[in-house]
Amino acid sequence: MAKVFSIRVNTDAEGMYDITREVKNYVRSSGVKDGIIVLQTLHTTCALTINENADPDVKSDILKDLGRKFPKEPYFDHFEGNSDAHVKTSIIGPSLSLIIDDGKVLLGTWQSIYLMEFDGPRAREVKMKIMEDK
């Protein structure tokens, strides 16, 4: 088993990309019963979050709202023109720590894990590290 596992996500544009299945599969395949898992992006214009997995309107509402509240601003100086994406990345955050209990990543009924893309299309990587409680 690789000591650090990588999820690749090819994004189209701004969006919330569900990576729950990949995280669950990795935890299952590790055989670890108790511990934690740390997820981390290697980028500066996408982030990681947990939110609702049932009504897809939740995802589009979140993206719409962050887009309206943190648009591209005339006072931005960064030459690439994507400072709005950098702002949203720091607001949502680059890493998540989740609990592994009884061989499964602990998630509520309505929780899924998402990569939030603020600046696609891009090829993104999420790294995962399991720490076992022996």
96 is a site residue for a copy of itself (CB under 8 A): yes
Total residues in contact with a copy of itself, by rule CB under 8 A: 64
Site string for a copy of itself, 14-53 (x = CB under 8 A): --------------------xxx-x-xxxxx----xxxx-
Q: Where are the beta strands (DSSP E) in the chain?
A: 5-10, 15-18, 35-41, 46-52, 95-101, 104-105, 111-117, 123-132
122 is a site residue for a copy of itself (CB under 8 A): no
Residue owning tokens 């299309």: 121
Q: Determine the interface stretch with a copy of itself among 7-15, 18-26, 122-130 (rule: CB under 8 A).
A: 122-130
129 is a site residue for a copy of itself (CB under 8 A): yes
123 is a site residue for a copy of itself (CB under 8 A): no
Residue from 29, 90, 103, 121 binding a copy of itself (CB under 8 A): 90
12 is a site residue for a copy of itself (CB under 8 A): no
- 115-132: string of b/e by CB count within 10 Å (b at 16+)? bbbbbbebebebebebee
Which 8-state DSSP code applies to residue 39? E
99 is a site residue for a copy of itself (CB under 8 A): yes
Residue 18 burial class via C-beta count within 10 angstroms: exposed 0-12, middle 13-18, buried 19 and up: middle
